[in-house]
Structure 1
């Protein structure tokens, strides 16, 4: 970085610095709305004043349950300037999922984009949980701010964006800057919840300083330039959209172009009209562009650099993207929420072989090991579990010391749950996963979480959920169900029932009825047998 990175190791200080350095350069383009870097700082400080007027103070947790828009950018930066910890919520969550997380962090407020994809986020947050006194008690005083200006005369806890900002007029302008400068590098910038193998989402704590350090190196290695325009299609509630996208843009003087809903034709239209030069996303993003019959109708020549990442990235995709799309630099990377989203990445100048067949090398300050089940280091080229250590490893899960101890050992090594190899040059190649988690279009899904919901269906006796290959999304959920005697339900009925209770990416696409589930001697279901197509006694569907 050109500036003293140590002096700007919080999001508010970084924003203040970039607003001075890139004052009139475009920071955000969102349809007809544009913000310069100076305008973005002004909007963030206005938001901070309004947050302070609501009683939000340093360390308070505030949720954002909304898609990628300029208001998400402004709201998050404003909350950071007020000293708050942002808790991003997956827009595909349903009400109970969101309320449970907001209750766990004891959120003071939540910002929503009501009506996105036809869902009533404001009413879902405000719905009473009469069957769960703990959630209801934790959310009694929760304030809901609708970023689309909705408001309620019946409930003073629901306010529109305009009314929210108007409340900040009572707070001196200097108070927002004072609060912004009081934030320290060790303060939490976000708590991002990620599914776990136990089925309960776990809140990954992300402090300001170490995360900014990581993405200063990330943007430099990737080859980002001031003035690049970055189409952020990964959601801001995900480290890929939030850190590798939004924050990286601001750190390196890029223009953020947020995308609320991915549609390949719309993406190509925006690339052409906004002269997009940077993209990032899971493999499905690039598959969609490559397979679009309208690809040759748009001028995509401005595209310069791109990145993709997943537990396992198809080699064929990398080869096609490098040859059929106009990127000068297309890389693969690897990471997980627990290491702020990134641990390794390829470098400019890497051979096509390295880029197509590895996830690159560790970022500066990050260490990697590949170990056997006993934790002993394995020789070059031998597969084992990947361990990660560095300042980019989370200090832990929110108020969950037991899960933290299971994930991070006393030496600071994070157990990734992924199987990989290291070559002689330090390039990591992910080959498999130890965990049962699978990924649907870039979103991780815990089978245990889906199983817990489906197990409540009156027609289900036993079940197991696995990920099965899908050409577009990489993997999708499939449920193997042992029916309950005397109760009938079709596969379509079970899927519809699940869709009412789960985010859409968690809903099984298929249900297969079986007489029994494969188990070992201790009674544990053998999911590897299901994935391998072991014989089962089937029931009619």
Structure 2
């Protein structure tokens, strides 16, 4: 059953404290209202609030596919999505286009298995949507709940945007396991967020590497929040020093790996293996299987997407992948099945005829200054924050020496601040647009 009979939802700063039955009643009411809309998918601007959660679950209850998107999407991007996908309605967006939506004349209905649509990470100019089935969402939520020992008594705040698969997985895994979620749109950098953590006796917190970096700078001290026993991390590689620092402040610290194309989570590193498996992202979640083929990580499981969608016609397609996801990540599996991500298949540049791993460049520079690498015309552009001209030239020579490529292959540039996505990852598309 979804939600679980013991699940609970709190809306921070309001009197809304919904038990599973109260939540179900509200969901059914919203589903009845959504049923009056024309056929087709719903597009919802997904905020970390009760209205958005009820829309999502109401659509789920009514069997209607729903796209959960950034509520602050630029008007032009949202208008293009509406033109291509012909949704029944646009709900909860700050920049919704004026005028009525164009409806398809006699287009095919969405596939009956289709439940959820999420934008791929970093999709801005020409977003494609990930098609997720009802089974994929439920199976992955249950697998996460099992791997993280989520159940009644666990209370988590919405510390990540829920139009992002990691953030949504917190909601889904808690509701399916009878745990509680505290809905808040406040940031981890705001005092009000931590007031809510304490007021609702939150026990678990999910964050991405950027957020852990910020918490370190703010001198986070778990002793100030005694109910907070569990920390989880996904959304990219977290520096080993930070893993150790925050693991020392928690009873349980989980390192995880996943992709939107696998609904959310693929692998989890159990807390008791942090010490002897440094750098690993763990073993597959229950029900999944990992392999490495020609260096690429391949995941097998029921939580793999049905495929991508570029237009409304794609929503009628069935499962195109058969539960097999080629992740695009490079990795290694050890004898116990623990996975280590070593790079990105498509993060490879060829300069002067030599293959250069852009992730390797970023790792080389990690201890010196914040940096990002993108590829161009037979050169690699390295973006640094506020580096002087002489230092940039020295950095290019250092990279040339360490990677055994002539230093002129590296165009080192300075930028005030590296652009980040809402997930905390570097926005490479924004950087590429500056070249």
TM-score, normalised with respect to structure 1: 0.60
Find the structure with the greater CA-based Rg: 1
Cα distance in structure 1, aligned partners of 2:222 and 2:255: 27
1:336 and 1:360 mapped to 2: Cα distance? 15
Structure 2 Cα separation of the partners of residues 534 and 265 of structure 1: 44
1:224-239 equivalence runs, <5 A = 224-239=150-165
Specify the alignment match of 1:125 in structure 2. Answer: 96
Q: Name the residue aligned to 2:280.
A: 358
Deviation string, structure 1 residues 195-236 (Cα, Å, up to 9, x no partner): 589973221111112321122121122111202111121111
Count the aligned residue pairs: 371
Q: Is the 8 A contact 1:193 1:204 kept in 2?
A: yes
Q: Give the SS at the match of 1:353.
A: coil
Q: State whether residues 479 and 511 of structure 1, in contact with CA within 8 Å, keep that contact through their aligned partners in structure 2.
A: no
Corresponding residue number in structure 2 for 1:322:
247
Alignment check: 8 A CA contact 1:27 1:253 kept: no
Query: Which of 127, 132, 138 does residue 212 from structure 1 map onto?
Result: 138
Residue of structure 2 aligned with 1:301, choices 198, 210, 226: 226
Deviation at 1:411, TM superposition (A): 7.3
Q: Higher relative contact order at CA 8 Å, sep ≥6: structure 1 or structure 2?
A: 2
Q: 1:101 to 1:509 in 2, by over 3 A?
A: farther
The answer to whether the aligner puts 1:349 opposite 2:260 as a matched pair is no
SS in 2 for 1:397: strand
Q: Is 1:70 equivalent to 2:32 in the alignment?
A: no
Q: 1:448-527 maps to which residues of 2 (within 5 A)?
A: none
In 2, distance between residues paired with 1:234 and 1:301?
21
Change in Cα spacing, 1:396 to 1:141, as seen in structure 2 (3 Å) is closer
User: Which residue in 1 is equivalent to 2:290?
Assistant: 368
1:190 correspondence with 2:116:
yes
Provide the rounded CA distance (Å) in 1 between the counterparts of 2:50 and 2:290: 37
Tell me whether 1:93 sits opposite 2:73 in the alignment.
Answer: yes
Runs of 4+ in 1 over 3 A off after TM superposition: 195-200, 295-298, 408-413, 465-471, 473-481, 508-513, 531-541
Q: Distance in 1 between matches of 2:153 and 2:124?
A: 44
Displacement, 1:72?
1.1
Q: 1:98 and 1:509 mapped to 2: Cα distance?
A: 31
Indicate yes or no: 2:293 matched with 1:385: no
1:107 aligns with 2:87: yes
RMSD: 4.0
Q: Which residue of 2 aligns with 1:32?
A: 14
Cα distance in 1 for residues equivalent to 2:145 and 2:154:
11
SS in 2 for 1:418: strand
Q: Name 1:376's counterpart in structure 2.
A: none
Secondary structure of the residue aligned to 1:41 is helix
Compared CA separation, residues 76 and 320, structure 1 to 2 (3 A): same
Could you state the TM-score of these two structures normalised by the residue count of structure 2? Answer: 0.74
Number of the residue aligned with 2:198? 272
The answer as to whether partners of 2:159 and 2:188 remain within 8 angstroms in 1 is: no
- Cα gap change, 1:64 to 1:197, in 2 (>3 Å): closer
The verdict on how the C-alpha distance between 1:352 and 1:249 changes in structure 2, with shifts beyond 3 A counting, is: same
Deviation at 1:394, TM superposition (A): 1.0
Separation in 2 of the partners of 1:252 and 1:418? Answer: 30
